[in-house]
Chain A
Amino acid sequence: MDYFLSEEQVMIKELARQIAVEKVVPVRQELDEKEEFPWDIMRVLASSDLFGLFIPEEFGGFGKGSFELAIAVEELSAACLGVSTTYAANALGTYPILLFGTPEQKKRYLPDIAAGRKLVAFGLTEANAGSDAGGIQTTARPEGDHYVLNGTKQWITNGGEAEIYTVIALTDKAKGARGASAFIVEKGAAGFSFGKKEKKMGIRASATRELVFEDCRIPRENILGREGMGFIVAMKTLDSSRVGVGAQGVGVAQGAFDEAVKFARSRVQFGHPIIGFQAIQHMLADMATDIEAARALVYQTARFIDSGAKDVTKASAMAKLFATDMAMRVTTNALQVMGGSGYMREYPVEKMMRDAKILQIYEGTNQIQRNVIAQNLIKEAAKAK
């Protein structure tokens, strides 16, 4: 379908696709098997300017928005979700600075991020605070010109590899979630170290690691927004970035679908290419329809966000929910179309199915997305009365 992309958007799409095809596809299996962080590809993305897409021009970026980012994420995801997660988590970590940073903070951090010189990570989740992010226990105690951080963040994408971390911690424990604040912590800060790197089912090129703070002192000016705004920072960040997870779903589903079609055309059973069987045709037809519906929702949501709309929570939750449930369905069915071949590592689809699973979990599980959508429905219904 034609989504009426501008000339520049077409360029971004073509460029991301070229990188995906020429630089990601040839190495994705090896990255997966070795659980290797895709530094070479990150360097290509940097020299191709793709880290700067959504950063304002005054800080060395291209001044584009969620939509352009979604297009790039989609193309990379069609090749490898491990790679696209690394790229997308960089944006996730950058949003707090973009949305809440002071001009000084932006000047200090955004140019390096736009140029891809420094990677970013976002640290919210802890062992006892997953869906219930309000249960975080990491603290940030004001002390003179500094804050002193203590606690451990768990499962942080780009942990250990990133240079810049945006971290949510409690400045006032008594106030619970209202006592949380957001901070910028740089790699190398005294008292900041990394725990174990996780071994995962999928997106194995992406690094998932603990952030450990032991009396980690950071300058007071590293706070984002004001004390007590931590959860607003986190929620607004996720509102902006979630649509990108939807774009990952669209991409990986498209990648798996394309493999399934190619396979179905060439695989002969009972004297016919299996694509001639109606059972296969209907599966493919459903998959194609599913993908297109999700793409339309993701694109429209991204454009809605970029329009400057005030409340995008429900829309971005819907886009994430629909596109990632779709991705799990489509990758599963793509594998099914390919039978035993699909299950083999010789083909990329088993990896795509393993990878797709994470999309229903991170940046808020799909159960939580449904909760969020429902809360908004209730609010809207109450207002309408």
Chain B
Amino acid sequence: MRIVVCIKQVPDTAEVKINRETGTLVREGVPSIINPYDMHAIEAALALRESLSGKVTAITMGPPQAEAALREAISMGVDDGLLVTGREFAGADTLATSRALSGAIKAAGADLIICGKQAIDGDTAQVGPEVAEFLDIPHVSYVRKIVEAGPGSIKVERLMDEGVDVVQAELPALITVVRELNTPRLPSLKGKMNAKKAEIKKLSASEIGLTPEVVGFNGSPTQVKKIFTPEPRCGRRVLEGGIEGQVEALIKELMEKKCL
């Protein structure tokens, strides 16, 4: 089975500070890590490779230094890494990111694509599903257990607010995974040695068949108008009394506020 893991290099938010004036993260001097959810994606891919054999490729889009994230993935046992990089990719929103990643995945070829459920810096949880849409393949998000994998299909448990769904999808497919799925392994010495030597293949927009207009800032419909810390909301009120009285009071209030 050919497995692609999409990973993102993020600032270690445990160490990060926020610039109060601009509302943005102060990234200088903050160590970079692989997005923690993506570590679970890597572990899932390696475990599948162990039981089914095959190959695991890690892909990231980012600046040249994102290569470090790919090497770390290789130190855990991933076979190779692809770095989607170039000025044209800077300033990408989730749509432009997904477009670029899906281009690279097409170039690499994959039966199964595994992503973390979201990145801890952006927290959108959009990139995984959007990649699946670009590739026109099924996706299942919030996977907490892989019940069966291959050939031809995958059966997983999807974590929902209340309980789990058991979902089967035809391959190729994309899943996004949650922490409950597994415990990521530590690197091995052999892995670290491989990571040091590994050649990381770099891909530009043209090499994945995309023009500069559709990636990076140019390809991003999202426009950040303003970043601010929301005012703490006040005027919270807890309705009291029996459940029926509460519902009545709530509806009345919502109508008065023109919410209903």
Chain A interface residues (CB < 8 Å from chain B): 7-8, 11-12, 14-15, 18-19, 22-23, 44, 47-50, 52-53, 62
Contact = CB atoms under 8 A, between A and B. Distances in A.
B189 interface: yes
A22 B186 contact: yes
A15 B193 contact: no
The 10 A-B residue pairs with the shortest CB-CB distance in the complex, in nearest-first order: A49-B189, A11-B192, A49-B188, A48-B188, A49-B190, A48-B186, A15-B189, A18-B186, A19-B186, A47-B188
B186 A15 contact: yes
A12 to B, nearest CB: 7
A48 B192 CA distance: 10
Interface string B191-202: 011001000000
5 contacts: A11-B189, A14-B192, A15-B186, A48-B186, A49-B188
Contact of A23 (B186, B189, B190, B196): B186
A89 to B, nearest CB: 21
B112 to A, nearest CB: 23
B187 A15 contact: yes
A44 B186 contact: yes
Contacts of A22: 186
A12 B196 CA distance: 13
Given A12-B189, A48-B189, 7 more contacts: A11-B192, A14-B192, A15-B192, A18-B186, A47-B185, A47-B188, A53-B189
Interface in B162-217: 185-190, 192-193, 196
Nearest to A7: B196
A174 to B, nearest CB: 48
Contacts, number: 33
Interface of B: 185-190, 192-193, 196
A50 B186 CA distance: 12
Nearest to B192: A11
Nearest to A8: B193
Nearest to A50: B189
B81 to A, nearest CB: 18
Nearest to A45: B186
A15 B188 CA distance: 8
Contacts of A50: 189
Contacts of A12: 189
A8 B193 CA distance: 8
Contacts of B196: 7, 11
B113 to A, nearest CB: 25
Contacts of A48: 186-189
B186 A11 contact: no
B32 to A, nearest CB: 16
Nearest to B190: A49
A49 to B, nearest CB: 4
Nearest to B189: A49
Contacts of A14: 192
A48 B186 CA distance: 7
A58 to B, nearest CB: 16
A299 B196 CA distance: 25
A11 B71 CA distance: 13
A7 B190 CA distance: 13
A50 B189 CA distance: 7
Contacts of A15: 186-189, 192
A12 B187 CA distance: 11
Contacts of B185: 47
Contacts of B188: 15, 47-49
Nearest to B185: A47
A367 B187 CA distance: 41
B170 to A, nearest CB: 33
A19 B192 CA distance: 14
A18 B187 contact: yes
A133 to B, nearest CB: 35
Nearest to B187: A15
Contacts of A49: 188-190
B75 to A, nearest CB: 9
B71 to A, nearest CB: 12
B182 to A, nearest CB: 14
B78 to A, nearest CB: 15
A18 B76 CA distance: 13
A11 B194 CA distance: 11
A139 B190 CA distance: 42
A49 B192 CA distance: 10
* Most chain A Cβ neighbours within 10 Å, of B185, B188, B189, B192: B189
Contacts of B192: 11, 14-15
A62 B187 contact: no
A10 to B, nearest CB: 10
A120 B190 CA distance: 23
A53 B196 CA distance: 18
B189 A62 contact: yes
A22 B193 CA distance: 21
Contacts of A52: 189
Contacts of A53: 189
Contacts of A11: 189, 192-193, 196
A167 B192 CA distance: 36
Nearest to A14: B192
A7 B196 CA distance: 9
Contacts of A19: 186
B192 to A, nearest CB: 5
A50 B190 CA distance: 10
B128 to A, nearest CB: 26
A217 to B, nearest CB: 39
A40 to B, nearest CB: 11
A20 to B, nearest CB: 11
Nearest to B196: A7
